[in-house]
């Protein structure tokens, strides 16, 4: 089944980004690392698509590739990533890409403490981006920077715009980053682990801010995260990545109600729940992610999957198990097996320690 | 208020440093064998009686701390005289200063500019042939002693190819072209070492800066690569270079010109110091050392201020 066919069935009518068969590999001294292996997804106008996965799953590399930030002499990038008007990001010239960055696709990063240049005032750093894309005077760009800072909830914005990054707290710096990202009214905001480096209380404030701005401006958000709590809070759809591949894709409620891939179950099982008795040890997925230098043949998750069987040596396709469903996963288990296997102790997720064997 | 305290602390530590330098320099000459100044002042054929008279007249038979106090008083009121030539030390220094300043300032400007250019090219071409060539040149420059390099240049370009005039100094006020012609080789000789150091330091700070999150943000903003390089990479990488430059300039003016001046016979302050050391003439050495130390202390303070100007993070922690 081709991906195109699935796209046609999907409910998204108005998409701002379509990524198809994106592959990113890096030549290293130890061999070729296939960081992103045939990834396809779409982002609809005004929606929040979450890409979930652990470190090394390729989620950040995918996002950075959209911005052209992974381009380097030892990187090989293929596939396609098109904006609504057909602008192709993968093959765009550096110059064309430069025009897209910051103006049509903007990005905020994980660590706001280091994401700004320390020697310039924050207002000037925002103004710099505005002036990179629009012919406006320095004064006008600065005035707009102040408005933006106000909009992302920075008190005394006019005064604070003249402060330097180190004079802001982490949460406030992330607000500055958001203001900067939205300064040229982009179609897509890529948020790469935007709350990971922040305190828990600040995390939800920043998420709420992103959500407010999404509603206000209609910007689509591509949210990269490993935190399912964050997903539950703001995402409308979810793509789960593992070892460079998409292993599951669905609407956000389905990932919690009806997760289909054993890796997703593991992720869900390792989230502490306040509605359950807390176990002595939080369940974990056994082992560690495979080396992307030489990933296992067939299913990439098979080495850690407690439910693996002979079929897993053959590469599973990303497919929908029910007709007309937008819920797809990459696993050979049947729907019935999945629904029986994933229940452990009355909850979804893997038991501790993993000792389940099948077939 | 904080700034006042900071300035006072700096001043106090400067006085301590200068005092220590003066005492050490003073004492070294009494530790040197045959260092007795009375022997030299009395002349070759002096009788024991003459020597004793000289010793008494100059106060060399008084306790060391009294002698030290007398010398320091003479330094401060400017009346101190050389033991070998009967002229005041300050008039000699004043005579040599234009040559020394021309040499040091010119070399400092050359090594700063060339060092930055080579460092940036090295970083942009990291791993390629250009980078390897610059690194090789840097390490040769760093390892070549200036008297060897200066002699080679002097031999090849002056005596063999006759491109540059032989040593000596022409004041810039007298003939700017001859001034420059005489200084090209000394400048190069003095600058090569620092060019090598600066190129290597800047190469690595630029390479580090290029991979920071802030520079990734700058790219993500849609800035041109040139703008990212100049405004976000170089601007940050040059902060350590600026302070290095201030301190190196002070070190050069405080002593490193000595060898180069001697090789090229520039008759500057450094050469005066070298001659004075050779004849164990304490007063000029003491004065020149103290002036050098003063200058190093002053440049240190300037560098601190410069640092605060260039890096807003320092500004808020000190004020």
| Domain shared by B122 and B239, yes or no | yes
Confidence of residue A115 (pLDDT cuts 50, 70, 90): very high
User: Is the pLDDT reported for residue B134 higher than 90?
Assistant: yes
Contact A115 B222 (CB under 8 A): no
Is residue A93 less than 8 Å (CB to CB) from chain B? no
- For range A343-352, the mean pLDDT: 67
Is residue B226 less than 8 Å (CB to CB) from chain A? no
The pLDDT score that the predictor gives to residue A359 is 41
Q: B236 to chain A: nearest residue by CA?
A: A119
Residue B318, domain member (yes or no): no
Confidence of residue A28 (pLDDT cuts 50, 70, 90): very high
Is residue B313 less than 8 Å (CB to CB) from chain A? yes
Residue B101, domain member (yes or no): yes
| Domain shared by B146 and B14, yes or no | no
Strand segments, DSSP code E, in chain A are: 15-28, 31-44, 48-52, 75-83, 105-108, 188-192, 220-225, 237-242, 245-251, 319-320, 328-329, 343-344, 347-348
Residue B300, domain member (yes or no): no
| Domain shared by B60 and B102, yes or no | no
- For range B89-96, the mean pLDDT: 91
Contact A132 B223 (CB under 8 A): yes
Contact B220 A67 (CB under 8 A): yes
Question: Lowest mean pLDDT: which of A276-280, A292-296, B122-126?
Answer: A276-280
Q: Among B162, B168, B196, B194, which Cα is nearest to B263's?
A: B168
Is residue B128 less than 8 Å (CB to CB) from chain A? no
Residue B309, domain member (yes or no): no
| Domain shared by B108 and B65, yes or no | no
Question: Lowest mean pLDDT: which of A78-87, A238-247, B303-312?
Answer: B303-312
| Domain shared by B28 and B166, yes or no | no
| Domain shared by B72 and B149, yes or no | no
Q: Residue window 258-287, chain A: list those with CB within 8 Å of chain B.
A: none
Residues of A in Cβ contact (< 8 Å) with B125: none
- Across chain B, mean pLDDT equals 88
User: Is the pLDDT reported for residue B43 higher than 80?
Assistant: no
The pLDDT score that the predictor gives to residue A11 is 52
User: Is the pLDDT reported for residue A90 higher than 90?
Assistant: yes
- For range B304-309, the mean pLDDT: 83
Residues sharing a CB contact under 8 Å with residue A308, sequence separation 6 or more, in sequence order = A299, A302, A358
% pLDDT > 90, chain A: 67
Tell which of A107, A115, A127 to mutate to test the B interface (max B CBs under 10 Å): A115
The structure tokens listed for B18 are 């200068």
CATH code, B167: 1.10.3720.10
Give the model confidence (pLDDT) of B153-185 as tens digits: 888 888 888 888 887 888 888 888 889 888 999
- For range A188-212, the mean pLDDT: 91
Q: Residue window 288-347, chain A: list those with CB within 8 Å of chain B.
A: none
Confidence of residue A356 (pLDDT cuts 50, 70, 90): very low
Choosing from B77, B107, B129, the residue where a domain stops is B77
Confidence of residue B144 (pLDDT cuts 50, 70, 90): confident
Tell which of A66, A103, A117 to mutate to test the B interface (max B CBs under 10 Å): A117
| Domain shared by B136 and B261, yes or no | yes
The structure tokens listed for A168 are 């802001």
Residues of B in Cβ contact (< 8 Å) with A111: 213
| Domain shared by B146 and B261, yes or no | yes
Mean pLDDT: which of A281-285, A326-330, B67-71 is highest?
A326-330
- For range B184-193, the mean pLDDT: 92
Q: How far is the C-alpha of B311 from the C-alpha of A305, rounded, in Å?
A: 52
Residues of B in Cβ contact (< 8 Å) with A101: 219-222
| Domain shared by B162 and B219, yes or no | yes
| CB neighbourhood size of A350 (10 A) | 26
Q: A98 to chain B: nearest residue by CA?
A: B222
The pLDDT score that the predictor gives to residue A357 is 45
% pLDDT > 70, chain B: 97
| Domain shared by B116 and B263, yes or no | yes
Choosing from B22, B47, B77, the residue where a domain stops is B77
User: Is the pLDDT reported for residue B108 higher than 60?
Assistant: yes
Choosing from B258, B278, B298, the residue where a domain stops is B278
- For range A3-12, the mean pLDDT: 45
Contact A117 B218 (CB under 8 A): yes
Contact A164 B313 (CB under 8 A): yes
% pLDDT > 70, chain A: 90
Residues of A in Cβ contact (< 8 Å) with B213: 109, 111, 114-115
Question: Lowest mean pLDDT: which of A231-245, A281-295, B290-304?
Answer: A281-295
Residue B182, domain member (yes or no): yes
Contact B214 A115 (CB under 8 A): yes
User: Is the pLDDT reported for residue B198 higher than 90?
Assistant: yes
Q: Please give the residue range of the domain that contains residue B128.
A: 96-278
Q: Among A20, A90, A38, which Cα is nearest to A247's?
A: A38
Confidence of residue B301 (pLDDT cuts 50, 70, 90): confident
Contact A119 B212 (CB under 8 A): no
CA distance A163 to chain B (A): 10
The pLDDT score that the predictor gives to residue A277 is 66
| Domain shared by B59 and B102, yes or no | no
Residue among A103, A117, A164 whose CB faces B222 most closely: A103
Treating both helix axes as pointing N-terminal to C-terminal, what angle do B269-278 and B257-264 enclose, rounded to 10 degrees?
90
Is residue A102 less than 8 Å (CB to CB) from chain B? yes
| Domain shared by B127 and B265, yes or no | yes
Give the model confidence (pLDDT) of A42-54 as tens digits: 999 989 999 999 8
The structure tokens listed for A33 are 């690392």
Residues of B in Cβ contact (< 8 Å) with A107: 220
Give the model confidence (pLDDT) of B18-34 as tens digits: 999 999 988 887 777 76
The pLDDT score that the predictor gives to residue A273 is 67
Residue B153, domain member (yes or no): yes
Reported ipTM: the value is: 0.87
- Across chain A, mean pLDDT equals 88
Are residues B209 and B237 in contact, defined by beta-carbon separation less than 8 angstroms? yes
Top pLDDT among B114 and A14 is at B114
Residue B243, domain member (yes or no): yes
The pLDDT score that the predictor gives to residue B231 is 95
Contact B219 A69 (CB under 8 A): yes
Count: domains in chain B: 2
User: Is the pLDDT reported for residue B9 higher than 90?
Assistant: no
Residue B141, domain member (yes or no): yes
Give the model confidence (pLDDT) of A123-166 as tens digits: 999 999 999 999 999 999 999 999 999 999 999 999 999 999 99
The pLDDT score that the predictor gives to residue A2 is 44
Please report the number of interchain residue pairs, chain A to chain B, with beta-carbon separation below 8 angstroms: 78
Q: A164 to chain B: nearest residue by CA?
A: B312
Give the model confidence (pLDDT) of B200-210 as tens digits: 999 999 999 99
């Amino acid at each position: 089944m081709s991906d195109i066919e699935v796209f046609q069935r999907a409910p998204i009518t108005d998409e701002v980004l379509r990524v198809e068969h994106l592959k990113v590999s890096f030549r290293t001294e130890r061999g070729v690392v296939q960081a992103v292996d045939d990834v396809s997804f779409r982002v609809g106008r005004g929606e929040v698509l979450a890409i979930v996965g652990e470190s090394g799953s390729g989620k950040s590399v995918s996002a950075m590739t959209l911005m052209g930030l992974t381009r380097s002499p030892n990187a090989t990038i293929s596939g396609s990533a098109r904006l609504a008007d057909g602008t192709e990001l993968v093959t765009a010239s550096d110059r064309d890409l430069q025009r897209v960055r910051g103006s049509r696709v903007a990005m905020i990063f994980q660590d706001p403490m280091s994401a700004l240049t320390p020697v310039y005032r924050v207002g000037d750093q925002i103004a710099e981006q505005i002036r990179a894309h629009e012919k406006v005077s320095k004064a006008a760009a600065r005035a707009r920077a102040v408005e933006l800072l106000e909009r992302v909830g920075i008190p005394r914005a006019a005064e604070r715009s003249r402060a330097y990054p180190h004079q802001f707290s982490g949460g406030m710096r992330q607000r500055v980053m958001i203001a900067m990202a939205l300064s040229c009214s982009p179609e897509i905001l890529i948020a790469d682990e935007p709350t990971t480096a922040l305190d828990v209380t600040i995390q939800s404030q920043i998420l709420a801010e992103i959500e407010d701005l999404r509603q206000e401006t209609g910007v689509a958000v591509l949210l990269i995260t490993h935190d399912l709590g964050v997903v539950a809070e703001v995402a409308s759809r979810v793509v789960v990545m593992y070892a460079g591949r998409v292993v599951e894709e669905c609407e956000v409620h389905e990932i919690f109600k009806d997760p289909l891939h054993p890796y997703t179950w593991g992720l869900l099982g390792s989230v502490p729940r306040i509605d359950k008795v807390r176990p002595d040890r939080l369940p974990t997925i056994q082992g560690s992610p495979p080396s992307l230098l030489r990933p296992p043949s067939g299913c990439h998750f098979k080495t850690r999957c407690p439910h693996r069987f002979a079929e897993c040596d053959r590469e599973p396709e990303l497919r929908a198990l029910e007709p007309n469903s937008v819920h797809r996963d990459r696993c050979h288990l049947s729907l019935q097996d999945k629904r029986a296997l994933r229940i452990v102790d009355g909850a979804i997720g893997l038991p501790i320690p993993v000792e389940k064997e099948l077939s | 208020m904080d700034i006042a305290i900071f300035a006072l602390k700096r001043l106090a530590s400067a006085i301590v440093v200068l005092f220590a330098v003066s005492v050490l320099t003073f004492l070294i000459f009494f530790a040197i064998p045959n260092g007795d100044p009375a022997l030299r002042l009395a002349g070759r054929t002096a009788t024991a009686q003459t020597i004793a008279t000289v010793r008494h007249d100059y106060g060399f038979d008084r306790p060391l701390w009294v002698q030290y106090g007398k010398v320091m008083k003479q330094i401060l009121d400017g009346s101190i005289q050389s033991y070998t030539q009967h002229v005041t030390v300050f008039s000699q220094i004043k005579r040599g200063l234009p040559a020394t300043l021309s040499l040091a300032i010119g070399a400092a400007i050359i090594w700063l500019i060339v060092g930055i250019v080579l460092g940036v090219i090295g970083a942009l071409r990291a791993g390629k042939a250009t980078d390897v060539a610059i690194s090789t040149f840097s390490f040769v420059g760093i390892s070549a002693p200036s008297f060897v390099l200066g002699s080679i240049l002097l031999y090849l370009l002056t005596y063999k190819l006759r491109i540059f005039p032989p040593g000596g100094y022409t004041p810039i006020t007298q003939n700017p072209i001859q001034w420059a012609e005489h200084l090209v080789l000394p400048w190069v000789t003095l600058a090569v070492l620092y060019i090598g150091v600066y190129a290597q330091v800047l190469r690595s700070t630029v390479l580090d800066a290029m991979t920071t999150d802030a520079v990734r943000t700058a790219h993500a903003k849609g800035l041109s690569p040139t703008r990212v390089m100049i405004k976000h990479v170089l601007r940050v990488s040059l902060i350590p270079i600026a302070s290095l430059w201030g301190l190196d300039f002070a070190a050069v003016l405080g002593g490193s010109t000595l060898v180069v001046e001697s090789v090229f016979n520039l008759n500057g302050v450094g050469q005066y110091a070298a001659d004075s050391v050779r004849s164990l003439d304490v007063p000029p050495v003491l004065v020149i050392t103290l002036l050098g130390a003063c200058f190093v202390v002053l440049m240190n303070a300037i560098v601190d201020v410069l640092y605060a100007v260039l890096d807003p993070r320092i500004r808020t922690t000190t004020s």
